[in-house]
Amino acid sequence: MTSWTLNKLAALVLGSACVLSLTSTSLAQPAPAAKAFEPRLGQSGKDVMWLPTKEAIVERLFQMGEVTRRDFIVDLGSGDGNIPIAAARQRGARALGIEYNPNMVEVSKRRAIEAGVQDKVEFLQADIFVAEYSKASVVTLYLLPELNLRLRPTLLKMKPGTRILSNSWDMQTWQPDETSAISQANANAYLWVIPARVDGNWAVKYRAAAGALPVSLALRQRFQMVEGDADFRSFKAVLQDTRLRGDTLRFDYRDSRGEMLHFVARVEGDRMTGTATSRQGRTRFEAKRTSTPTPFEEAVATPQEIADAVRVLGNQ
Half-sphere exposure of 226 (CA within 13 A, CB side): 27
Cβ contact 202:230 at 8 Å: no
What is the C-alpha to C-alpha distance for residues 195 and 160, in angstroms, rounded to an integer?
5
* pTM score, whole prediction: 0.85
Identify the burial level of 31 via C-beta atoms within 10 angstroms of its C-beta, where 0-12 means exposed, 13-18 middle and 19 or more buried. Answer: exposed
Q: What's the DSSP call for residue 305?
A: H
Nearest to 301 by CA among 148, 161, 176: 148
Strands (E), 100-151: 121-125, 138-141
- Tell me if residue 252 falls in helix, strand or coil: strand
What type of residue sits at position 176?
A: P
% helix, strand, coil for the chain, step of 5: 30, 35, 40
Nearest one of 137, 125, 44, 36 to 81, comparing CA atoms: 125
**Contacts with 139 (C-beta within 8 Å, 6 or more apart), sequence order:** 73, 74, 75, 76, 133, 155, 158, 162, 163, 164, 165
Instruction: Provide the residue-wise pLDDT of the chain in tens; the chain has 316 residues.
Output: 444 343 443 444 344 443 334 344 444 455 555 677 777 666 666 777 677 889 999 999 999 999 999 999 999 999 999 999 999 999 999 999 999 999 999 999 999 999 999 999 999 999 999 999 999 999 999 999 999 999 999 999 999 999 999 999 999 999 999 999 999 889 999 999 999 999 999 999 876 654 466 779 999 999 999 999 999 888 999 999 999 999 999 999 998 889 899 999 999 999 999 999 988 889 899 999 999 988 899 999 999 999 999 888 777 6
- For residues 63 and 90, the answer to whether their CB atoms sit within 8 Å is no
Residue 121: strand pairing partners: 95
Structural element, H or E, at residue 14: helix 3-28
- The rounded distance, in Å, linking the Cα atoms of 52 and 12 is 65
Distance CA 18, CA 158 (A): 73
Find out whether 56 and 189 touch, Cβ atoms under 8 Å. Answer: no
Assess contact for 65 and 57: CB atoms under 8 A. no
Which H or E run contains 205? Answer: strand 200-206
